[in-house]
Structure 1
């Protein structure tokens, strides 16, 4: 028996807070909780003997939102006082688990029938990256995902894309359709002139090869943009 059980008045004040927060989560779910409260719950496992509310609030203050915290690089997380390497690794593990969960929702089923899951996955995987990444989802004749690959990693505002290399990889995988995806670290998903021109070139090369370009999705902290919805494809 712990000394806290024998002498409840000796227990740290945050233990009661933790139990109340856990109970509220069990009764009401995550949607009823503020970002910092959900973050507190995650930090309970990594920080067992301290009050995690100040840490959670400091992380939100530094990075902005719950999603921003999980997506932040470990090197930036440990800049926050009280966040050591083990806590930063724990947060990155949660982020990896969330991304893996979102990816599972788009596998083994026609992508065009679960488009919201595709968007959720793309945002989870890329929206908070600090460098531009160009990703391709390769699909078979039934529009089921064959492969999901990051083709290029660029700078904060540019990623080099080589349309012929895109088509070469699609042919290697026997893909009959592709979805292009990239992120804008600025947060604004609005397509640039370069984005539009590059997409047009890929579509022109793909057509005679019998490969459909279903969409080009740009994701950012402020949302996403679909070339198909914008009638740019």
Structure 2
């Protein structure tokens, strides 16, 4: 065949050292993923930054793309790792690249964190696990964008027997009905309650509405022999105890 034939100018024919067409180049982020996983396993979670922790989560959702830019976008939008995994799906979807698979992975991590924290306090005396109880409340509520009111139900030995969300509200208000609180406590055969709600603003200082609502619940509870141990307001960085503030 003449030297100027059909295949003479193709890379496979003209470049003697070229790799076979079937061999694909390893993506530049492949080794980064391996190194990051190895560092995480060898040195623990404190060895990785927030965006690297997000990368580890996103690897499963996006197996064939560099996820570092998306991790940094999510942090820029929401602030930190906790805020990212706690963000509502509708807001996560506003970030370019955060599709259904990404949102699902983030919500799985959030649910796992809540379940783990809850398992450490459920069916245990609150007196000996108060720190873990507050950690659980912060994990579940501190980064929510709307108010949530939860009730922790205790038995006669102050063992946590149930933890339930009573109501959801807006960014600065949540409707709570004392009669419903008492009714549920009686259904569970509870002897005492701890009330918990969050302030999306981040400031845990109780409002006058919080104080009035707590007193209404306290009066309804006393009428049937229930004790209100505390009402805790959870903020993003701190919490406030009605008992410590002399409001109960």
Does the alignment reach a TM-score above 0.5?
Answer: yes
Q: Does 1:173 align with 2:177?
A: no
Q: 5+ residue gaps in structure 1? A: none
Tell me how many residue pairs correspond in the alignment. 228
- Provide the rounded CA distance (Å) in 1 between the counterparts of 2:247 and 2:194: 14
Which residue of 1 is the match for residue 102 of structure 2? 87
Query: Is 1:228 aligned with 2:243?
Result: yes
Deviations 1:195-233 (A, max 9, x none): 112212222332343211111111122322111222222
Tell me how far apart the structure 2 counterparts of residues 7 and 220 of structure 1 sit (CA, whole Å).
54
Instruction: Choose the corresponding residue for 2:55, options 40, 59, 71.
Output: 40
In 1, are the aligned partners of 2:203 and 2:236 still within 8 Å (CA)?
yes
C-alpha separation in 2, matches of 1:205 and 1:225 = 23
Alignment counterpart, residue 27 of structure 1, candidates 24, 42, 47:
42
User: Counterpart of 2:165 in 1: which secondary structure?
Assistant: strand
Give the match's secondary structure for 2:94: coil
- Candidates 45, 49, 54, aligned match of 2:64: 49
Partner secondary structure for residue 152 of structure 1: strand
- Asked if structure 1 preserves the Cα contact closer than 8 Å seen for 2:122 and 2:162, the reply is no
> How much has 1:91 moved relative to structure 2?
0.7
Instruction: Pick the structure with more helix per residue.
Output: 1
Q: Residue 140 of structure 1: CA displacement?
A: 0.5
Does residue 1:147 correspond to 2:158, yes or no? no
Give the CA deviation at 1:188.
1.4
**Moved beyond 4 Å, runs of 4+:** none
Instruction: Please report how far the alpha carbon of residue 7 of structure 1 lies from its aligned counterpart in structure 2 after TM superposition.
Output: 6.3
- Paired residue for 1:197, among 199, 212, 228? 212
Residue 221 of structure 2 is aligned to residue 183 of structure 1: no
Q: Hey, what's the Cα distance between the residues in 1 that align with 2:123 and 2:160?
A: 7
Counterpart CA distance in 2 for 1:108 and 1:136 is 15
Work out the CA distance in 1 between the residues paired with 2:23 and 2:123: 55
What is the aligned partner in structure 2 of residue 121 from structure 1? 136
1:93-108 aligned within 5 A: 93-108=108-123
The structure with the larger Rg is: 2
1:133-144, aligned counterparts within 5 Å? 133-144=148-159
Separation (CA, whole Å) in 2 of partners of 1:73 and 1:208: 39
Question: Structure 2 length normalisation: TM-score?
Answer: 0.87
Secondary structure, counterpart of 1:70 in structure 2: helix
The whole-number CA distance in structure 2 between the counterparts of 1:218 and 1:156 is 14
